Each structure stands twice: as C-alpha cells, then as structure tokens.
Structure 1
Amino acid sequence: MAGTDARTHLGARSIDLRVPDTLLENLQLIADGVVAVAGFAVAAIRIRRGDDLELVIDTGMPEEIGTRIPAKAMLDELLLADDWGRLQFVPHERSDHLTGGWVVPDVEVSDDPDAWHPLDMLVAPLYDAQGELRGTLAIDEPIDGRRPDAERRRVLERFAGLASRAVLSAVERESFLEQVAMADTVKEIVRTTSAQLSLDGLLDESRRTLLDGFSAQQVWIKTVTAEGRSGAEFLPEELRDSLPEAIVEFAEQAAHFCWHQQEVMTVGETYAVPGPMSRQHFDHVVELLRGMGMASLVFVPLGAGPECLGSIVLMRSDPTRPWSDVETSALLDIGHDLGRAALNARTFEHEHELVTELQALDTYKSQLIATVSHELKSPLTTVWGHLEMLESETLPIAPEARLSLDAISRASRRMSRVIEDLLLLRKVGETAKPLAPTPVDLVELVHDALAMTALSAQAKQLRIDLDLPSEPVHARGEADELDKVVLNVVSNAVKYTPDGRGIRVVLAPGERDDQVVLAVHDEGIGISEADQEQLFSEFFRSTNPEAVAQPGTGLGLAIVQRIVHRHGGEVAVRSALGAGSSFTITLPAHRGALSS
C-alpha cells in the first residue's frame, strides 16, 4: 500500500503528535469499528491542524501517524468525487495523481472493471456546523477486493454517518477542551496581573503564565508610553543584543495594525502580509526571524479602547506547530486584559510620579514660607523698635511726621498679621505633624472671640444674638488651632456686616452623637456664587468691591478649612450677594462630653 488515503502526498511531513490520549483511544475504537463492520482492512483518520490534515489513526500503516497533507489537496480531490452521501469516492482513473504530486505505488492491478484499485479513494469528509473541513475518515483495501456495490454502499453510508458523527464529536470535544484550557490561561493571566501596580511587575507575572499556557519557548512583551515612545519591556537575555532593528519596527507596526483590525498575526510556514507592509519588507523580516530560530510566532496587540499599548510576541521552536484558532482567540482576549492592566499600571505610575512631585512642591513651599517669614520678621522687628523709640521721645513731632508714623505703624501691623498667618498656614498644613487632641470647650472660645471683636462690633452698633448651651460643649482637638477657627469666622462676620445689622452664633450637637456644630450667621454683604468656589483658596480676595475695601490677607478662611480638615471636620458656607452669609463648622465631639 502506498498510503491510507489510497495515496501518499509528496508534501507530507513528519511531526510530533500532540493529541490527548483519551481522544486517541476514542478515535482508535472508531477506526477499529469501521474495519470490523464495513469489510475493509484499513481505516485512517485525519484531523485538521491549521492548513493541514494530520494523520492520527492508521490501522494499516501506523508508522505514518503524525504526517500531514495539505487540506487544500484533499479538497481538490473531493471535487472529482462521486457523491455517495456521506462517503465520497474518487476512482483512480479520474485523478491526475502524477501532476497533482501523488506517489504512484508499484502494485499489480486487476483488469476486472469492478476491482478495487490501490489508488481508488473512499473518504468521509467531516465538516463542522459552519461547513469547514475538520477532518476525514478514509477507508481502503476491501476484503473481497472489489468496489462496493449499491447494497454495500447503503451499509457503508449508514456506518459512515455514525462514524462521522463520532469522529466529529471527538474532534469538537478536543476543541472544547482546548477552549477550556485557554480560558483557564486567560483567567490566570487576569488573576496574576490584576494586583500588579507596576509595568515591570505586570510583565514579569504575565510572561510566565504565557509560556506555560501556550507551550511557547520564548516571549517578548513590549509596551509604549502615552507619548508613543518605548515603555516597559520584557525581552529574553539571549535576544537582547541580537534583535535586529527591522524586527523591532515590524513588531510596532504589526501591533498597531493588529489592534486596529482586532486580530492576531501568525508567522509560520504560511503567512499573510499585514496591510501597511510590502511583501519584500515582510519577507525580509520573516527571514530574519527564522534565522534567529523563531520559526513559529504569533504577534498579539495590547490595547485598551482605541489605544494600542504594545504587543506580545510568542515564539515556538517547532515550525510545524501551528497556532490554533482557539489559541489566537484566547491571545486576543489576553491582549485586551493585559492592555487594560497595562493602562492601569501606567496610570498608577503616572499618579505616583505626580504625588511625588506634589509632595516635593509642598515641602518646597513650606520651606519657602518659613524662610520668607523669617527674613521679613527681622527687618519688621527693627521697624517696630524704631517706632517705639520715636513715639517715646519727648521732642515734639510735626503733624505730617505723625501721619507718616501712623501709616508705618498700620503697615507694620498688617505685615505682622500676614507673617503670622503664613506661619500658621504652614503649621496646620504639615501632614507629618500629628494632632495632639484634648477636650476643648467651644462655648469658652466663642466668648473669647466675641470679646476680641467687641470694640469693632460696638463701633458698628451690631446686634449679637447667641444660642449657646449653658454647659460646656467639648470638641476634640488642639485648643490654639480651634481658637483661630472660631476667631476667624466671628471676626469675618463682624468685618463684613454693615452698621446696625445683626450676627447670630449657634452652638449645638451635630446629626451624630460624635459631632458638634458651630454656625455663624450674619446679615452682611454676602458672597457671590463665583467667589464661593474659591473662597477657601490661599490669598483669595473677593471680587466684590465692598469686600475688597476691608483689610485682610486672604488667608483666614484657608487657615480655617485646613484646621477643620486636620481635625476631621467639615466647613460649609451658604450665601448670596446682599443677603448675608452662614458658615457652618462641624467638628468631632470629645467622647462623652456632649450633652443632649
């Protein structure tokens, strides 16, 4: 016999069989059943592997198992066949096996027109639901040496139907198991990489799973930055110094092309040229790859949304080991999963860089404030000293000079307030400085703030209404800082409320038992919605001319917000132009100190 498909093709090549043992056992039982029932000595089963049909079972020439023939050669032969239902019969006299590349065996042939010829072919092609050829069941060497008659064809037809369904079921089961295995690989990729917050860690974790899950010998993973430059990369040590620039450029072009097409690209014994490349360029790259021992490769794009973030290149040393549809589909899913993980890692690293820069900037700002404040305090102390000397002199001072001294005194006091506010802003903004909380009586702080602003309130004939508990109300915090908070909001109410109007101060329990609330309502000039958005920003001054006319540093409310947030509280404002303002400050209560 020349071969179990009645012929052996010149292009057949030997490979290592990689069919699961359970599948081989089932197929062997089917082939043995064909031989026993159908009256033929030989049955052969081939399974589709990429563009080839691989021989997996042969009851006549088991030494041929593992060889392949092109699927196209089989399909061309079937075009010449007589249709026997599930069986297709190609008589030897109809096939041009010499020009078609078939080996013609040297055997003795009978002159009987009904005799079976060694080059006759009887085969059941196995198609899936989409009409794609998935395998073949071939029968050869009838026991009686004759071509089957009509009655025997009916028997063969029934048996071929059963055998075909069984073979196709076994093949599809193998495909399903492969899909399950690939799904497990995809899940493992997601599991091992989802916790990675750095690109280097992501590449290290994913490469090991890719090599094991896809039986590959090498993997090259490359990412690109948001600006399109080369990013994190994993490249085997042995390839690091020998990878030609043409391959690097090819990988980048292939990644973008594949991501746009939402497909992977395989390079093996047959390959298609990607859209943006010329055949000459692509052939050159393929030759370079093969020269480096990378005979069977798959290019997988990494991406998220419309953005291509890099590529995976998996390499197999065996050029005849194709990348199956199940594998390429799973790899495309992995490209999406790793792309999202890479984007998250890239975003995290960018945010980490920004946080580091902001921390450095904050440290610089704190140091700058401390330095500037120190440098301002020294000359200001000298100014204060000379003012005191001049004011204590018994010599008469001219009225013009007195006006100048008063102006210098006012400016010096204002400068002192600015320096004090800057130093306080720096102090409450130091995250490294821990809070040392104690019980702080807010009732006492309100009375102190009213006493400090009493002269201004009396001068403007303001009405002050108090709604305070008769017992102490203790907040949890630092007394000096909370004193600044209460004084700032009360003094602002006094400052921005016109003559003859009122201010109301309320101190009460919060919505929760662990809170206290201080509210200061005034009948002042109010704050526009636009100004409210920036009200707590450093150095912000209102755009309202009436507010600008009042002296201030623009730091008071920024200090209030920082202190309140530092204490774990909240500050809110409700206001409208000409309708007054309400500032509400919520602070943590000292546990057990707030009465209901």
Structure 2
Amino acid sequence: MRSPHDDAAVADTLHTILSSVTDLLGFELATISLVQPDGALETVAVAGTSEAQLALMGHRIESSVVESELADAEEWGPLRFMPHDRMRLPAERFVWVPQDVEPTDDPTRWHPLDVLVAPLRDEEGRLRALISVDSPEDRLRPAGEDRKNLERFIDQTRPAVLNLIERSELAAQLRLADAARLVVREASSELSIQSIIDVTQHAITRCFDAFGMWIQTFDEDGDGKGVIHASNGAEIRLSEDIRRIARPAARMMWDAQLVAVIGQDSVRPAVLTPEHENQIFDFMRTIEVTSMLFIPLGAGKECLGNLVLTRHDDARADWSDMEQRVALDIGHDLGRALLNARAFERERRLVDELRELDSYKSRLVATLAHELKNPLTSILGHTEILGASPDLGAAERTSVGAVERGAARMQRLVDDLLTLAHAGDPHTPFTPTPVDLHAAVLEAVDLLRVTVNHKALDVVVEAPEDSIKVLAEPDGVEQILSNLISNATKYTPEGGRVTVRLTPMKRYVRLEVSDTGLGISPRDQEQLFSEFFRSTNPEAVALPGTGLGLAIVQRIVERHRGRIHFTSELGEGTTFTVTLPRA
C-alpha cells in the first residue's frame, strides 16, 4: 500500500525540522518516523551523515513494539529515554549504531545503544509519529539546559508535525477520492452491474481503507428485495429482515442526501429503530466487521440501491466527515452507472424478445412455404402433363396455361419466402468464406444475358483487374447480385444502361448497381425495403415481381454486417450501394 506521506514537499519540511536538531541542539543524527496505514513506523526523514541516511531511510518497526518499550522508558517531559541496559529488544531495531563510537559505562555519557525519542500523539492519544535523536556532539546524555532546550523544541514541533501529517493524509485521501470518482464515472460505460463492481471495487475500497463492499440493487417494480452484488466474487447472504430494512432506509437517506455510519460506538441513524440496529449488529458479528458505511445510490429523485463499505479494525472503525461526503458523491456517480446498466439490461431483454419473435416469424414463414412447395410442385407437374395431352381443346389449353402461370408465380413467391426466412432468422448459423465478388458479378450478368440482349441494354462492369474478395456466404452474395442486377435490367427501358461498379476500400468493398430506368418516387422510397411492397408506379406494377427481392437483399446485407442505401430520381434511374466486409 502506498503511504499517504509519500510526498516530496512533506519530506522536505520534515527534513528542515530535523536540521534544527542537528544544527542548533547539538545532535549528529535525528530521524522522524511516521505511522503507516499498516500500523508500522517507517523512517521518512533523516538528518545526519550520508551513511546514516542510507541505513535508516525506509526503516520499519511495528508500532506495537515501540509502544511496549515506551511504557517502560524514563519520562523526560515530552521525551522518552530508554537506556541501553533496560531495553527488552536489541537497540539496533530502534537506532543506527555507528562503528567508530566506543561504548562506556559512565552513567553521564551517551552510550551508542541508548535511545531518546519523542512520541507524537494526536488528540485521541494515537501514536502518529516518532522523533528520534542520537549521538550528542559532546557525547553526554542531555541534562540541564540542553534537555530543556530539547523539550521546548519537541513541544514547539509537535503541532507542526501533526498538522503536516493531517494535511498530507487529507491531500492523499482527496487524491484517492478523486481517483475513485473518476473510476466510478468511467464505469458508467460498463453494461452490467457486476462489471461496474469489478471495475470500481479496488478503487473504492482503497479510497476508504475498507475491508469489503457490496451493492444492493432494487427491483424496478418496487416489490422485490433487490439483488446483492459483492466484490471479489464474495457471497454476501443477507437475511430477509436485513434486506427489508435496507430498502426504506436507503430511500429515506437518498431523499435527505445522507449516509449512515453503523457501529457499536456510532450514533444510531434516525432511519433505524433500535430493533433494526440490533439485527444489523448481529449480522455484522457473523461477517466479523466492526463498522459499516451505508450509502444510498440514486439518480435524480430515484433511489436505485445502496452501497455498503465495511471495516474490521477497531482502530479504524470511524468514518471521517470527508469520507462521508466523498461517499455521497460516489453514490451519485454509481447511481448513474446503475441507471445506465439497467437501461442496457432492458434494451438487451427487448432485443432478445424481438430476436426471438423474428426467429419465430421466420420459422413460421419457412414452415408455411415448405408446406406450399410440395403441392405446388404437384400442380406444376400435372399441368405439364395436361398441357402435353393432344385431346385438349383451345379453351382447355388456355385454362391449363393460366393454372401453370399462377402456380409458377406462387412457386417464385414460396422460394423468395424461404430465402427471406433463412436470411432473417438470427439462429441460422453464419459461415462466411472469401468470395471473389468480381467473378460473382460477371456470373450474375451472364445469367441475365437473354434479358440484356432482348432489350439491347448496355451493361458495363467497372472493377480493378485484381480479384476483389469479400468475407461472405456465397449464396448470400448470389442473392444480392441477382436481385439488384435483375431489378436494374427489369426496370430499365430498351436501349438503357446498367453499370455495376466495384470499389475496394481498406476494410470493405463497395458494390454499386446503377441504371437509367424508371426511378423511384419519394413516396415509394419510404417503403422500398418493406416486405411485399410493390411500387405505385403503373409501369413498374405491370412488370412481374413478389415484392420481396429488396427485403431479402437488405436482410442478407445486415446479416453480413454490411450496409445498403440508394439514391433515385423518378424517370432518371436508381443507384443501389452495398458495402460488404473485405476478406
């Protein structure tokens, strides 16, 4: 854990204070050790020789060990003197022993293993720092005026050092709080509540020096007890009573914009009855925590849940005013993140439902089409047999021809329905492979050669000499090309022009099919990709079609994560543009 005192300005100030000891009070060595978050005393400033600085900087010792030695030390006002012969632990754990100083038994002289320190305590009596002085220049134990000067120095220095520690810790905590808030705000892009916790829990628990955390989210309908999301995959089992207590408490605290500290030594929050508080204390004992910080989460006027931070150290059971203010800010940020996650979850469910509905529709269409396909095949077969009979008269042949044309039209419709159902079913496996788009275009044009020649159309294919491959399903590419190019030839008058243009880009290939045909009215353009839509243009209606071709193309393009759009002017022609992923 990074020390809250890792600040160059703090170290410089502490070193300046120590320089007064070495320069004015006649000691060759002085150090300041600060109590770290883990309870150890760590030396953060040293005034003395470079050899001593190298040996002592960063030196650590458990504060409990120091407290034990201080209890038996001689009291010199604010100082504590520990003669080398009365220490229980080796003095080397406390001081640096220079190699060139000779030990002595003279009680007035300074022994290399003597320890003289000044414990600096805050208003609550907690040890926060330790000033140590060593190696008096006169090699005598401080007495008389020398000791009084040293005591005055400690009395004057104590508030300055404690204020410096407090400001340093406050600044460090503010930096951590800002970092935690930044992490929480960035978590708004996460799409699930558990992801939000996974992203933010380290920053939040570190900011508040907390043992653990969990979030209880409330159901949207307001009837349920919500869901518990714990950090680090932990399982938090809240009783039904605790969950029922949390919901109204969180709502009342969100309305009042307050957080609550819950612990044996804290004032009972007004939103809790004594019975509720006892139930919570019983629960805290089962999870071995000494205090909790209860934070409502919300956005606007809506309370969405609560965040609970825990501590299990009696020495850190308190939560400062600043921590409570920062916690409320994080409650706002987390509330917005939860609102986003909830909205995404609603959208995901809706998309799943729509996808399932679309899949059901596709399966229904496919089933009906299959059921129609067999009798249609039978009808066409029998009309072919009837048409070949020499005994039919002119009227009968006309009827048979009408039946055959109607059945053929229905068969085209059934085939298009099957294609549409396959392309639109989200459960249909998607297996793309590299497809030579240029070769596929040439093949599609060749299949329409009879129509092209009959209408004397000028069909031009513009493409680079090198092959252009797209990552697609071959059948899908064939459907796209046959529909777009056949539409262009169908709706272009005799002597017109159809242009198919291929343009490779970095990640996609652009396919353009342009014609000089009928064009599409603005009114028809709005519904062009709708299923079974037929143009209102009488010239277009006169031409055969099922109204499914462009709907099929759009489904296939979307299936390939491509895009399709068009431009058209009535009477001047139409251009369809499709982009497909490049292989």
TM-score, with structure 1 as normaliser:
0.59
Offset of residue 324 of structure 1: 0.7
* Cα contact 2:380–2:408 (8 A) shared by 1: no
Letter in 1 for 2:412: R
The whole-number CA distance in structure 1 between the counterparts of 2:526 and 2:469 is: 28
Q: Tell me whether 1:435 sits opposite 2:505 in the alignment.
A: no
Offset of residue 361 of structure 1: 4.5
1:452 aligned partner: 451
Q: Tell me whether 1:224 sits opposite 2:218 in the alignment.
A: yes
| Aligned-residue identity in percent | 36
User: Any gaps of 5 or more consecutive residues in structure 1?
Assistant: 1-16, 37-42, 48-52, 59-156, 458-462, 591-596
2:29 aligned partner: none
Offset of residue 253 of structure 1: 2.5
Q: Go from structure 1 to structure 2 and tell me whether the alpha carbon gap of 1:219 and 1:568 turns closer, same or farther (over 3 Å shift).
A: closer
- The 3-state SS of whatever aligns with 2:383 is helix
1:554-580 per-residue CA deviation (whole Å, 9 max, x = no partner) reads 211123334556677654311134543
Pick which of 226-235 and 375-384 moved more: 226-235
- The 3-state SS of whatever aligns with 2:125 is strand
Q: Tell me whether 1:250 sits opposite 2:245 in the alignment.
A: yes
Q: Go from structure 1 to structure 2 and tell me whether the alpha carbon gap of 1:370 and 1:54 turns closer, same or farther (over 3 Å shift).
A: same
2:546 aligned partner: 553
The whole-number CA distance in structure 2 between the counterparts of 1:166 and 1:482 is: 77
Offset of residue 226 of structure 1: 4.1
* Cα contact 2:444–2:485 (8 A) shared by 1: no
Matches within 5 A, 1:340-379: 340-343=336-339, 345-346=341-342, 349-350=345-346, 353-354=349-350, 356-357=352-353, 360-361=356-357, 363-379=359-375
The whole-number CA distance in structure 2 between the counterparts of 1:165 and 1:589 is: 69
- The 3-state SS of whatever aligns with 1:488 is helix
Q: Go from structure 1 to structure 2 and tell me whether the alpha carbon gap of 1:474 and 1:568 turns closer, same or farther (over 3 Å shift).
A: farther
The whole-number CA distance in structure 1 between the counterparts of 2:418 and 2:384 is: 25
Letter in 2 for 1:169: L
The whole-number CA distance in structure 2 between the counterparts of 1:238 and 1:226 is: 23
1:83 aligned partner: none
- The 3-state SS of whatever aligns with 2:249 is helix
Offset of residue 409 of structure 1: 2.2
Q: Go from structure 1 to structure 2 and tell me whether the alpha carbon gap of 1:205 and 1:519 turns closer, same or farther (over 3 Å shift).
A: closer
Q: Go from structure 1 to structure 2 and tell me whether the alpha carbon gap of 1:179 and 1:407 turns closer, same or farther (over 3 Å shift).
A: same
Matches within 5 A, 1:412-561: 412-428=407-423, 430-435=428-433, 437-438=435-436, 440=439, 442-452=441-451, 455=454, 457=455, 464-468=457-461, 475-476=468-469, 482-496=477-491, 503-510=496-503, 512=505, 515=509, 517-528=511-522, 530-542=523-535, 547-548=540-541, 550-561=543-554
Q: 1:54 aligns with which of 124, 135, 146?
A: 124
Q: Tell me whether 1:175 sits opposite 2:176 in the alignment.
A: no
* Cα contact 1:220–1:312 (8 A) shared by 2: yes
Q: Tell me whether 1:408 sits opposite 2:403 in the alignment.
A: yes
- The 3-state SS of whatever aligns with 2:484 is helix
The whole-number CA distance in structure 2 between the counterparts of 1:57 and 1:420 is: 86
1:183-207 per-residue CA deviation (whole Å, 9 max, x = no partner) reads 666678789x789754346557766
Matches within 5 A, 1:86-235: 165=160, 167-180=162-175, 198-200=192-194, 203=197, 214=208, 219-228=213-222, 229-234=224-229
1:152-205 per-residue CA deviation (whole Å, 9 max, x = no partner) reads xxxxx99999765554334333433444555666678789x7897543465577
The whole-number CA distance in structure 1 between the counterparts of 2:561 and 2:291 is: 61
Matches within 5 A, 1:372-387: 372-387=368-383
* Cα contact 2:188–2:336 (8 A) shared by 1: no
The whole-number CA distance in structure 2 between the counterparts of 1:57 and 1:511 is: 73
- The 3-state SS of whatever aligns with 1:54 is coil
The whole-number CA distance in structure 2 between the counterparts of 1:202 and 1:570 is: 33
The whole-number CA distance in structure 2 between the counterparts of 1:307 and 1:448 is: 63
1:285 aligned partner: 276
1:105 aligned partner: none
Offset of residue 412 of structure 1: 0.8
Q: Go from structure 1 to structure 2 and tell me whether the alpha carbon gap of 1:517 and 1:367 turns closer, same or farther (over 3 Å shift).
A: closer
* Cα contact 1:475–1:587 (8 A) shared by 2: no
- The 3-state SS of whatever aligns with 1:437 is strand
Letter in 1 for 2:419: L
Q: 2:391 aligns with which of 390, 395, 399?
A: 395
* Cα contact 2:468–2:504 (8 A) shared by 1: no
Q: 2:331 aligns with which of 327, 332, 335?
A: 335
Letter in 2 for 1:325: D
* Cα contact 2:260–2:294 (8 A) shared by 1: yes
RMSD of aligned alpha carbons: 5.0
The whole-number CA distance in structure 1 between the counterparts of 2:552 and 2:412 is: 13
Pick which of 549-558 and 172-181 moved more: 172-181
Q: Go from structure 1 to structure 2 and tell me whether the alpha carbon gap of 1:571 and 1:190 turns closer, same or farther (over 3 Å shift).
A: closer
The whole-number CA distance in structure 1 between the counterparts of 2:296 and 2:165 is: 32
TM-score, with structure 2 as normaliser:
0.60
1:306-342 per-residue CA deviation (whole Å, 9 max, x = no partner) reads 6433112234565993211232234334434544554
The whole-number CA distance in structure 2 between the counterparts of 1:389 and 1:309 is: 73
User: Which has the larger Rg?
Assistant: 1
1:227-283 per-residue CA deviation (whole Å, 9 max, x = no partner) reads 444443047999847x363x4333222323444454422245454755xx5xxx644
* Cα contact 1:222–1:310 (8 A) shared by 2: yes
Q: Go from structure 1 to structure 2 and tell me whether the alpha carbon gap of 1:484 and 1:209 turns closer, same or farther (over 3 Å shift).
A: closer
The whole-number CA distance in structure 2 between the counterparts of 1:417 and 1:428 is: 16
- The 3-state SS of whatever aligns with 2:534 is coil
1:517-550 per-residue CA deviation (whole Å, 9 max, x = no partner) reads 443223315231x543442343333455664554
Q: 2:294 aligns with which of 299, 304, 307?
A: 299
Offset of residue 392 of structure 1: 2.3
The whole-number CA distance in structure 1 between the counterparts of 2:488 and 2:391 is: 42
User: Any gaps of 5 or more consecutive residues in structure 2?
Assistant: 1-36, 45-62, 81-117, 129-151
The whole-number CA distance in structure 2 between the counterparts of 1:470 and 1:577 is: 28
The whole-number CA distance in structure 2 between the counterparts of 1:296 and 1:471 is: 73
2:575 aligned partner: 582
* Cα contact 1:304–1:343 (8 A) shared by 2: yes
